[in-house]
Each structure stands twice: as structure tokens, then as C-alpha cells.
Amino acid sequence: MSAPTRVKVVENGPVLEITFDHPPANAFDQQACRDLDAAFGRLCETPGLRCAIVTAGGERIFSAGWDLKAVAAGDTGEDFGPNGFMGLRRQFNKPVIAAVNGLAVGGGFEFALHAHIVLAVPQAEFALPELQRGFIPEAGGLWRAYRRLPVSIANELLLTGRRLSAEEGLRLGFVNRIVPRESLMESARAIAGQICTAAPLAVEALLEVARAVETVPDAAAFGVMYGDLPARRRMRESDDFLEGPRAFAEKRPPRWSGR
């Protein structure tokens, strides 16, 4: 008999809603990581899906990351699937909103660092305590912390394991909004709805270009953007590329076809 999934997935129109569901800590073992990455594959490969909201069950912990209790019990394998722990090697071609409902530790924080938009309840906290456990963040959180946060703050969080509050994350620009717990998903769905009004191929092209030029100087970034990036090429050659200007000129909402 197979173990119950730790990841619940629901399609809400064009939005894929993913919920971590392994109380009390929403920790991830090998199978849970593969299940989560399969959900992201569904998002990326289904034309009708435009973005995802990722949240967690319960009211205290978003995710404690790696299931250290399972590791201590002998589950030391690291077959997390083709995109690594919690799918964090995957390059998303569609926006992912993290609706953080509590403590995000280790992989939970690493996931939030990889998301495009982060909403948090006032009680949310973020921490990378890996060094205090005898290892380092290896699912992307190490360098993403330096990219998303001031270097001195990233150094402190990584070296000491201290927790970053939602309020401090907001001040530093890592957290987009702090919202009451009872309206967390409502707020996430409102942002997802706004994303879904944009041309789908343009959204994919934007994420592709932003990723390709992330660490490239300005002069070289133009060369990368005007090179042969596939999502940008599809956008430029699509019907939607002309639909936007037509809709503007005709004073009507655009009718995106995704083609």
C-alpha cells in the first residue's frame, strides 16, 4: 500500500494550487520531493495553467524542509527526482507565488527564495539553520539568499541560523506583502488573477530573459535578450504579440490565445 501523498494539488481555473500536507512540520522525504516536482511539471507543461500558488496545511509551519527525523531513522537516500530536493533545480517558466503561512526553515526558506512572489502571515519566520545541523543549504538557498537579500544579512542568516521575521523580510524587499492569515489565500489568488490577465507567452518570455541575464552586465544582457531565447522568440512570432496593440487601439480587453 502506497504512502499518502504529502503534496495536495488542485487546479483552480488557470491557477495550480499546491499545498504541503505532512503535519506537523510539512517536511520532505524523497517521495514527497518527487511528488512536488511532478506538480511543477504539470504547471510548466500544461498550456491552460498560468501560475501556481504554493502554501501549506496547518497554522504553524510552512515547511521544515528535509525530513531529518526520517534521515535519523535511516532514510539517508537522496533520490529527490530530476530537479533535486523539492524540485528547486527546476527553472519555472510560469510564475510561482509562495503563500507562507508559518515557519519556513531550511528547504522551506529555500523554496520561498526560489518563488517569484512571497506573501507571508505576520507570524511567519524564515531560517537556514543548516550549518548548525552539520551541513550547508544545497538546494539553491545558499546563493539565492545572497541574490535576494543584502550580503551582510545573508551572511548573518547563513552563519548563525537566526530567524528572519516577516516584517524584516518586507523591509528588505524579500517579502512582497504581509497579510492576515485568514486572507492569505485570497490575497494570493488576487495576485494570480492579475498575472493571468497578461499575455501567457509574454510572461514566459519575461521569466526566461530575466533568468538568462540575472548575473550578466547590462551591455551583455542586451545581446543575450536579442539572441535566440526560445520563449522570447515564440512571443515575438505569436498572434498575441499583435493582439495587445490591437486591443489597446480598439479600447477593449485583449483576447489572449497563447499562440
Q: Which domain holds residue 228?
A: 200-249
Residue 172 and residue 212 in one domain? no
Residue 12 and residue 85 in one domain? yes
CA 240 to chain centroid, in Å, comes to: 26
Identify the pLDDT of residue 1: 42
Give 128-149 pLDDT, tens digit per residue.
998 887 788 888 898 999 999 9
pTM for the whole structure: 0.89
Give the active site residue among 110, 125, 204, 208: 110
Give 1-12 pLDDT, tens digit per residue.
455 678 999 999
Residue 210 and residue 191 in one domain? no
Distance CA 202, CA 207 (A): 9
| Residues contacting residue 198 through CB under 8 Å, at least 6 positions apart | none
Residue 134 and residue 231 in one domain? no
pLDDT tens digits for the chain (259 residues)?
Answer: 455 678 999 999 999 999 999 889 999 988 899 999 999 999 999 999 999 999 999 889 999 988 877 777 777 678 889 999 999 999 999 999 999 999 999 999 999 999 999 999 999 999 999 888 778 888 889 899 999 999 999 999 999 999 999 999 999 999 999 999 999 999 999 999 999 999 999 999 999 999 999 888 878 877 888 888 898 888 888 988 888 878 878 888 888 998 8
Residue 103 and residue 130 in one domain? yes
Report helix, strand and coil shares of the chain as percent, to nearest 5. Answer: 45, 15, 40
110 is catalytic: yes
Give the active site residue among 17, 125, 130, 208: 130
130 is catalytic: yes
